[in-house]
Amino acid sequence: MYLGDICTIPVNLAGLPAVSVPCGFVDGLPVGMQLIGKPFADTQILQIAWAYQKVTKHHEARPALTEEGGR
């Protein structure tokens, strides 16, 4: 098991629908938010994620590749 899986394994084992969406940057690094729904609420979770992205536009942001902010 990898450390990066620690937030996904419990949800997968429980059989719950989940999606991760971008929610901004902290210290120049991208941060995501995981939405977890009730069993069989896949459509609802995807609709919420889509609505969040439509309003926030975090998914369009790109981190700088250098300390000077260049790409």
Select from 28, 18, 26 the least CA-distant residue to 67.
Answer: 28
Residue, of 68 and 22, whose pLDDT is higher: 22
Model pLDDT for residues 49-69, shown as the tens digit of each residue: 999 999 998 888 888 777 665
66 inside domain: no
Q: Is 31 left (phi over 0), alpha (psi -120 to 50) or beta?
A: beta
Number of domains in the chain: 1
Domain that holds residue 29: 3-60
70 inside domain: no
